[in-house]
Amino acid sequence: MTSDTPSELLDCIELETGPQPTHAVIWLHGLGADGNDFAPIVPELRLPAAPAVRFVFPHAPVQPVTINGGMHMRSWYDILVMDLVRREDAAGIRRSEAAVRALIARENARGIPTSRIVLAGFSQGCAVTLHTGLRLPEKLAGMMGLSGYLPLLDAASAERHGANADTPIFLAHGEYDPVVNIARATASRDMLTSLGHDVRWHTYPMQHSVCAEEIADIRDFLMEVLK
């Protein structure tokens, strides 16, 4: 359910693990970062040469962010209050959903079906990943949500599509995250589990970041779903 259609595709960083990729990972960065943020992780994943995977790291639009005094920065949606629940930028989240759907459609046009695409994201990118993945009418290979949460919880059950009812969802969070409290992540996990989703839950002794153990677990997950 989207109310906005992007007029043009987001700019992206792309890395391919081999020629003529047959699979893709669309990976969304967090607030204030850009598509370069997670590109260095690709070689650390040590994925095999086959199947070849295209990693797509889009740059979020630059827009004002309320909790940062209206400062302009790359953001998938506005953050209105720190508790992340009381008031959410539903229109902004849905605009980003439309932008991600457009990136999926481009991969389809390049010969990669949605069933061979993993949606991934960190923090805000995690929120958009989970929001979009639940609503897609085509089955994904998997979803990865890192240090984030499922937004618009009250709408998730009514708006979700059955296509990804059994799609594996990798969720990971830092036990000491001061930005997105782990309680918000566990609430998202519990919501997804209650809806029957296949949630793979991981926690690590870290803050709002990524660690070596998590990268190893991401590799295992990608090796499983990118077949």
Q: Which one of the listed residues 96, 147, 177, 188 is annotated catalytic?
A: 177
Assign residue 49 a region (left: φ > 0; alpha: ψ between -120 and 50; beta: otherwise): alpha
Q: Which one of the listed residues 75, 96, 123, 188 is annotated catalytic?
A: 123
Predicted structure pTM score: 0.95
- Interval 148-168: pLDDT, tens: 999 998 899 899 999 999 999
Q: Is residue 1 predicted with pLDDT exceeding 50?
A: no
pLDDT band at 85 (very low <50, low <70, confident <90, very high): low
Q: Which one of the listed residues 161, 202, 208, 217 is annotated catalytic?
A: 208
Annotated active-site residue 123? The verdict is yes
Contacts of 127 (CB under 8 A, 6+ apart): 76, 77, 93, 121, 145, 148, 149, 150, 151
Q: pLDDT value at position 126?
A: 99
Annotated active-site residue 115? The verdict is no
Write down the mean pLDDT value for the chain. 94
Annotated active-site residue 198? The verdict is no
The structural domains of the chain, ordered by start, are: 12-225 (3.40.50.1820)
